[in-house]
Amino acid sequence: MRFKLKVRRGARALVMLIGTDITFDEFATCHCNPEDFEEALRYAQSRVALPTFLVGGDFAIRVAPSVLDLRGVVAFNATDAAAASRLDVPLLMIGGSNAVAEAARDSSRLVPADEALAQEVAARFISVYA
């Protein structure tokens, strides 16, 4: 396996962390690379029955429509407005193109901030939509 699933007692969501070093202590998390995403997602969703969130960049936005029980996407420095326009779930953007935020139906954008603040805002976003 080229990915790692961590399940925490009382977790309210499964967070797929795609190509990022960020982590969350209060959720079930699965770190993976884009090339391993489909296998990692199947593995993680077969082991926990929790609403799913994607955290990553443009890749997370592009694959979102194919994810079952998806509740939201957190995207860092995203630039793919066309993919964002196809999202049916809330999008939290950390940095990235304003055009992406405008293309998504339900989006919030945090202007570039330090990593700790971005992680805290992302955790709250996931908690609210879980």
Rounded to the nearest integer, the mean pLDDT of the chain is 94
Q: What is the pLDDT of residue 111?
A: 85
Q: Find, among 128, 98, 122, the residue nearest to 16 by Cα.
A: 122
Tell me the domain boundaries of the chain: 4-129
Q: Find, among 29, 99, 87, the residue nearest to 62 by Cα.
A: 87
**Tokens at residue 91, please?**
């999008």
Q: Find, among 117, 52, 41, 59, the residue nearest to 90 by Cα.
A: 52
Percent of the chain with pLDDT over 70: 98
Q: What is the pLDDT of residue 83?
A: 97
How do residues 35-78 score in pLDDT, each as one tens digit? 999 999 999 999 999 999 999 999 999 999 999 999 999 999 99
The answer, yes or no, to whether residue 1 has pLDDT greater than 70, is no
Q: What pTM, to 2 d.p., does this model score?
A: 0.95
Q: What is the pLDDT of residue 33?
A: 96
What mean pLDDT is predicted for residues 9-20? Answer: 95
The class that CATH gives domain 4-129 is alpha beta
